């Protein structure tokens, strides 16, 4: 169970201050346990601080290859349609 505290420094979870809070909701019950719903902005280590060359793709290499193949095929079909349309001009 996490320990949440409120002080002049703000909201802390297990002694660590939480910054950039957007939304905070506190619900208490008769069992001395509170439900805390908090929305905050932050940088996710390994996701938000990646350089473009280090980005992770959720697609496998096979899916990525298939996606490129489908896009290229669609592009070729569009190109053929457009060139046929303007051949006689």
Q: Write out pLDDT tens, residues 39-80.
A: 999 888 877 777 766 566 666 777 778 878 888 888 888 887
- Is the pLDDT higher at 22 or at 31? 22
Both 34 and 8 in a single domain? yes
pLDDT of residue 47: 76
pLDDT of residue 58: 67
Termini Cα distance of the chain: 75
For the question of whether the overall pTM of this predicted structure is more than 0.75, the answer is no
Identify the domain containing residue 23 by its residue range.
Answer: 4-40
Both 11 and 36 in a single domain? yes
Find out whether 41 and 22 touch, Cβ atoms under 8 Å.
yes
Interatomic CA distance for residues 48 and 5, integer angstroms:
28
Number of domains making up the chain: 2
């Amino acid at each position: 169970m996490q320990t949440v505290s409120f002080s002049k420094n703000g909201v802390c979870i297990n002694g660590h201050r939480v910054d950039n809070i957007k939304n905070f909701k506190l619900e208490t019950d008769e069992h001395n346990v509170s439900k805390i719903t908090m929305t905050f902005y932050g940088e996710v280590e390994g996701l938000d601080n990646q350089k473009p060359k280090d980005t992770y793709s959720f697609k496998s290499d096979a899916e990525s290859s298939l996606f490129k193949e489908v896009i290229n095929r669609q592009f070729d079909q569009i190109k053929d349609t457009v060139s046929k349309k303007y051949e006689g001009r």
